[in-house]
Each structure stands twice: as structure tokens, then as C-alpha cells.
Amino acid sequence: MNIQWDAEKYGSDFSFVQQYGGGVADLVDPVAGGTLLDLGCGNGALTALLRDRGFRVMGLEASPEQLALARRSWPDIPFFQGDAADFSLPEPVDAVFSNAVFHWIDAARQPDLLRCVHAALKPGGQFVFEFGGAGNNRLIHGALAETFARRGLPYRNPFYFPTVGEYAGRLEAAGFQVRYAVLFDRPTRLTGERGLEEWMDMFLKTPLSAFETEVERRAVLRETAEALREELFRDGAWYADYVRLRMKAIRL
């Protein structure tokens, strides 16, 4: 899925992506003098955090906007442009880390992603990641499907949100041993009275491209948010119904 990111807005209004990512980074065991690849590193905030924990880090990112921001923010860290499901490294690393990226990659390309990660890791290397798991944003996608249906349009959730069992099977088939896996609800507080509309506008560009005018798109966002108010607005704030799949595996 190719998205043109507003990298500054992503890093400010949606900074929870990096804040929550710190918990995933805690699963990476320190390796003295070790090397680490941050796969889909975004603005580089978590790459820098892992550098501060002693790794010699590098980041790979597809989005030119995010990459430019990462390079400006941490000029001493090497950041490369590339596709998480089609990359190779000159030398294998001790750890591959990734936060909030794999749900953007279609199910059909997940074996390519895991093949690239396997080839990028030393034997025994750590693969630590988190992304949207089964049930992620179920309420939001369900309400959007109903808004689309009222306009006679089909709705397709464009993301890949697997179960623990499905992803563990993929990892084992790709030559990894699963050491840790958890699927958990993480209701995520959004900023502002239009927080949910802004979240959908930022992250659901592919389905929303069905609407040609700004007026139509805004009406769809408003109507969908109102349909969700009872379930997702509480104590004066909007919450997105996130479900995370967090895993750690070792490359055999």
C-alpha cells in the first residue's frame, strides 16, 4: 500500500505510535556491540531509542517523507529507503525490530517479508515486532462499511490483521522459532474533538479514495464518527479500538 505521509503530523498528532512502541523495544535483549535493523522505521524515534540502548542501528523505510524527517532528526543514524518485503543487507544483523508496519503488507506478501528478515538476521538473531492483530479497529471498519453501504458502495478493509496462530505458523514455516506471542486490546486515546475523523482521514486513505470530493469525504468521516460515538467516545476523548499482536522469534 503506497501512502503519501504527512510525516510531521504523524509524529505530533499521532505520536502514540512511537510512545507505545517503547514497550515492544523492551523485548529486544541487549547485545554488546550488536547490530539492529529497524524495519519500517518511520520518523526514526524508535531507531534512536534502540541506538541509546547500545545497538549499532540502521533504519529502512519506504516513505520518502518519513525518511527525510528521520534523516533530519538523527543525522548520525544510517536510514535507507526500501520495501520491507523486498530488501537485503550487505551483512546480517543481530536483531530486527519493527513497530506498527506489517499490517500494511498484504497477506500474499507476508512470506516475502519473512524471507527477507530471515536472510537479514544472523543464526540465533532476534526478531521482535508488533502490529495490528485479529480484531484491530473492528468497530471502526464495521462502521465505515455501514456508511459506505448507505451510499451503495462496497467497503474493503485494506489491512492484514492476523491471529497469533496464523502468524506463528508463518514464522515457523519461514525458519523462526517463536519465543513470545500475545494479542491484546490497546484502546488508544486520540487528540481533539475531531480525533476519530482525523485518524480515519490519516490512515484510511485507500478506502476513502472512493470519494472524489472533499465534501463527500468529510461527510463520510463525520457520519461514521457519530455512529461510533457511544462506543468510542468517553470522558471527553475519542479512543481507537486497537488490538496489537506482539511477538518475539529467533532465527534458526
Residues at the site binding ligand BEZ, with contacts judged by CB under 6 A: 100, 103, 132, 136-137, 159, 203, 242
Identify which of residues 148 and 159 has a Cβ nearer to ligand BEZ in the complex.
159
| The three cell numbers locating residue 127 | 526478531
Q: 136 by DSSP, 3-state: which?
A: coil
Q: What's the closest the beta carbon of residue 34 comes to ligand BEZ, in angstroms?
A: 27
Q: What's the closest the beta carbon of residue 98 comes to ligand BEZ, in angstroms?
A: 12
> Which residues does 120 contact at the CB level (< 8 Å), separation at least 6?
37, 87, 88, 89, 92, 93, 96
Instruction: Please give the DSSP secondary-structure letter assigned to residue 29.
Output: P
Measured from each CB, the residue nearest to ligand BEZ is 132
Instruction: Please give the DSSP secondary-structure letter assigned to residue 98.
Output: E
Q: State the CB neighbour count (10 A cutoff) for residue 184.
A: 11
Identify which of residues 113 and 121 has a Cβ nearer to ligand BEZ in the complex.
113
Q: What's the closest the beta carbon of residue 113 comes to ligand BEZ, in angstroms?
A: 16
Identify which of residues 99 and 126 has a Cβ nearer to ligand BEZ in the complex.
99
Q: What's the closest the beta carbon of residue 136 comes to ligand BEZ, in angstroms?
A: 5
Q: 35 by DSSP, 3-state: which?
A: strand
Q: What's the closest the beta carbon of residue 201 comes to ligand BEZ, in angstroms?
A: 11
Identify which of residues 159 and 239 has a Cβ nearer to ligand BEZ in the complex.
159
Please give the distance of CA 35 from its chain centroid, rounded to a whole number.
Answer: 22
Q: Considering only CA atoms, give the Rg of the chain.
A: 18
Q: What's the closest the beta carbon of residue 140 comes to ligand BEZ, in angstroms?
A: 9
Q: How far apart are CA 78 and CA 225, in angstroms?
A: 40
Identify which of residues 42 and 44 has a Cβ nearer to ligand BEZ in the complex.
42
Identify which of residues 40 and 125 has a Cβ nearer to ligand BEZ in the complex.
40
Beta strands in the chain (DSSP E): 35-39, 56-61, 79-81, 93-99, 121-132, 176-189, 233-234, 237-251
